[in-house]
Amino acid sequence: MSEINILKELEDIVGKDYVSNRSEDLYIYSQDPGASLSRPADFVVMPITSKEVQEIVTLANREKIPIVPMGGGLTLSGLVIPIKGGIVMDMKRMNKIIEINELSRFALIEAGVTSGQLLAYLNTNHPDLQPPVPDAPPSITIAGNALIHGSGYLSQKFGDHGSMINGLEVILPDGELYKLGSCAVSDYWFTRGPIPDFIGMFTSSFGTIGIITKLSIKLFPKHKIRTLVFGLCKDPKTLPKLISNITFDDVAEDILLGIADKPDWMKGYVTIMVYITGESEDEINNKTKILKKLYRESKSRYMKVPKRLEEIFLEKPQFAATAADFRKGGGFEYVGAFVPLKLIPEMIKIGSEISLNHEIIPTLGARLIGQGHAVMFFFTYSFNRADPKDMENARDALHETNKAVLEIGGIPWKAELAGQQLILEKMDTNYKKLLKNIKNLLDPNGIMNPGNWEVK
Ligand SMILES: Cc1cc2nc3c(=O)[nH]c(=O)nc-3n(C[C@H](O)[C@H](O)[C@H](O)COP(=O)(O)OP(=O)(O)OC[C@H]3O[C@@H](n4cnc5c(N)ncnc54)[C@H](O)[C@@H]3O)c2cc1C
């Protein structure tokens, strides 16, 4: 079918105002803010109902046109860049908060609801509840973040955001609508089981299987007081044990590590940020005492910081990149990896060395996931967007990091195309076979975000 006829069909589905093939509209959908190379999109479409999504997917499947689902488009590793052209489906108009269940603590929302929107809604209407949100800009979507195993303030206690999904409404390439989780059986979107759990198939699959139109995400109690206890560690080798002890004592809602050569006072140290919450000053004081003792025992130091600095780190989301080495041109690749606790010292070494080798000021950090079950490490590699060589430098640093991470036993997070191929090279053959079989079964024409997770 000709481009003009496809445009006409898309216009019939969503209306003229919400589809475009004009180069000035497509420019922004052909790239992301990270270091990946841009690729041209053919159409952008913004549906507002699940039915519209079904019709668009049916059209794309019939005509074998690639579809790339996009939330906030802020993952930074090229996951919403249309590698093989086609339709970028921008989900932002699907922004209804359908239900907040106070008692069972979940939010049923459409896939385009942003973290800023849900935070603001809960702050106003349900101030005792909080959603899982990352430190990313508030225009990211809750769905996009949960679907890439994102993490944030509650992750040390309750796990990554992918594990907080209770249920999904999904449109598969056959154009059918599927409900996954308890919502397949009950009116309550309150749990994933106890039925065979297919939700995991949609996390970290980067839009290669279907389009999520609704999701139920867990909410958590918000305690009266939330504060921070800073520690300063000179020897990274002591960190795995120290962190294991902190999680054993169950005092922390969130634990972040910061490693940066700038500002100067941070150089040579690992900053430990433990977020604690409570209902009374007594509870906070007790938790602080426990932390000070644990710091002392591991030869780290408790650090009192100026009020203003504490306030910055208590912001939600905090402006995570304030310590980053911003270059002229403003490019910023934020990459990461999941590793076991034991590998923290090695990860610090790898990230710092690769940064220095690429003349980037080391700026990295880590967040604890699920009471020490995993650590999400992040590296920021800055570059000048106006300088292709500098962008290549950031991409090379990223690739080296992914290789090094896989070698020591970690797994790159939200990996860009080249990183996905590195993971696939190391992946168990039968896991790969399963991935390929599932993909071929559900998406026989390969229309869903093609190029990603391609088993060759
Ligand atoms: C300054 C900064 C700080 C950050 N801090 C954090 C942090 O603390 N923690 C963290 O986890 N991340 C962080 N990030 C990374 C990233 O921004 C977030 O993880 C973000 O939540 C991604 O959401 P998004 O809506 O932008 O997803 P997108 O980039 O739009 O999408 C992510 C993936 O999901 C797929 N997808 C999106 N919507 C759908 C759908 N409806 N159906 C099917 N597939 C879909 C896309 O195709 C893509 O593959 C940070 C980023 C920046 C720029």
Any idea what the CATH number is for the domain that residue 147 is in?
3.30.465.10
pLDDT of residue 326: 65
**14 in any annotated domain:** no
pLDDT of residue 292: 96
Give the helix ranges, DSSP H, for 249-280.
none
Q: What are phi and psi of 419, to 5 degrees?
A: -65, -40
Residue nearest to atom 27 of ligand 1 (CA): 144
Measured in angstroms, how far is the CA atom of residue 137 from the centroid of ligand 1? Answer: 10
Measured in whole angstroms, the distance separating CA 83 from the mean position of its chain's CA atoms is 20
Q: Are residues 133 and 148 in the same domain?
A: yes
* Domain end call among 184, 201, 221: 221
Q: Are residues 400 and 295 in the same domain?
A: yes
Residue nearest to atom 20 of ligand 1 (CA): 145
pLDDT of residue 318: 74
Q: Are residues 357 and 256 in the same domain?
A: yes
Residue nearest to atom 15 of ligand 1 (CA): 75
Closest CA to 298 of 240, 339, 229, 358: 240
Structure tokens at 24: 């000035």
**3 in any annotated domain:** no
Measured in angstroms, how far is the CA atom of residue 450 from the centroid of ligand 1? Answer: 18
Q: Are residues 229 and 217 in the same domain?
A: no
CA dihedral 198, 341, 150, 118 (to 10 degrees): 110
pLDDT of residue 99: 98
Domain CATH number, residue 386: 3.40.462.10
CB contact burial 139-170 (16+ within 10 A = b; e otherwise): ebbbbbbbbbbbbbbbbbbbbbbbbbbbbbbb
**58 in any annotated domain:** no
Which atom of ligand 1 lies closest to the CA of 32?
Answer: 29
Q: At what angle do helices 239-248 and 281-297 cross, to 10 degrees?
A: 150
pLDDT of residue 308: 83
Q: Are residues 137 and 268 in the same domain?
A: no
**168 in any annotated domain:** yes
pLDDT of residue 261: 85
Q: Which residues, at least 6 apart from 290, have a Cβ–Cβ distance to it below 8 Å?
A: 249, 251
- For 370, left (φ over 0), alpha (ψ -120 to 50), or beta? left
Q: Are residues 163 and 298 in the same domain?
A: no
Q: Are residues 371 and 319 in the same domain?
A: yes
Q: Are residues 199 and 231 in the same domain?
A: no
- Contact criterion met (CB below 8 Å) for 98 and 108: yes
Tell me which residues have their CB closer than 6 angstroms to ligand 1: 68-76, 79-80, 91, 111, 134-137, 140-141, 143-145, 147-148, 150-152, 206-207, 211-212, 320-321, 334, 449
**247 in any annotated domain:** yes
Closest CA to 408 of 323, 358, 324, 338: 338
> What is the residue-level pLDDT of the chain in tens, covering all 456 positions?
889 999 999 999 999 999 999 999 999 999 998 999 999 999 999 999 999 999 999 999 999 999 999 999 999 999 999 999 999 999 999 999 999 999 999 999 999 999 999 999 999 999 999 999 998 889 999 999 999 999 998 999 999 999 999 999 999 999 999 999 999 999 999 999 999 999 999 999 999 999 999 999 999 999 999 999 999 999 999 999 999 999 998 899 999 999 988 778 788 899 999 999 999 999 999 999 999 999 999 999 998 888 888 888 888 777 655 555 567 777 778 779 999 999 999 999 999 999 999 999 898 999 999 998 999 999 888 899 889 999 999 999 999 999 999 999 999 999 999 999 999 999 999 999 999 999 999 999 999 999 999 998
pLDDT of residue 332: 79
Q: Are residues 159 and 297 in the same domain?
A: no
| Domain extent for 182 | 97-221
Number of domains in the chain: 2
pLDDT of residue 305: 84
Distance, in Å, from the CA atom of 416 to the CA atom of 399, rounded to the nearest integer, reads 9
**215 in any annotated domain:** yes
CA dihedral 10, 13, 19, 21 (to 10 degrees): 10
Q: Are residues 139 and 105 in the same domain?
A: yes
Q: Are residues 305 and 210 in the same domain?
A: no
Measured in angstroms, how far is the CA atom of residue 37 from the centroid of ligand 1? Answer: 18
Distance, in Å, from the CA atom of 134 to the CA atom of 372, rounded to the nearest integer, reads 18
pLDDT digits (tens, 9 = 90+) for 9-58: 999 999 999 999 999 999 999 999 899 999 999 999 999 999 999 999 99
Q: From residue 129, give the alpha-carbon distance in Å to each of 28, 172, 190, 219.
A: 35, 32, 16, 6
Mutational pocket test of ligand 1: of 52, 90, 114, 148, the residue with most ligand atoms within 8 Å of the beta carbon: 148
**Paired residues of 99 in beta bridges:** 108
- Contact criterion met (CB below 8 Å) for 213 and 48: no
**241 in any annotated domain:** yes
Q: Are residues 303 and 360 in the same domain?
A: yes
pLDDT digits (tens, 9 = 90+) for 225-257: 999 999 999 999 999 999 999 999 889 999 999
Looking at residue 126, what DSSP letter applies? -
**289 in any annotated domain:** yes
pLDDT of residue 306: 84
* Domain end call among 221, 240, 268: 221
**Paired residues of 89 in beta bridges:** 45, 69
Give me the DSSP letters along 369-430.
Answer: ETTTTEEEEEEEEEE-TT-HHHHHHHHHHHHHHHHHHHHHT-EEES--HHHHHHHHHHS-HH
Q: From residue 454, give the alpha-carbon distance in Å to each of 38, 42, 78, 114.
A: 19, 21, 15, 29
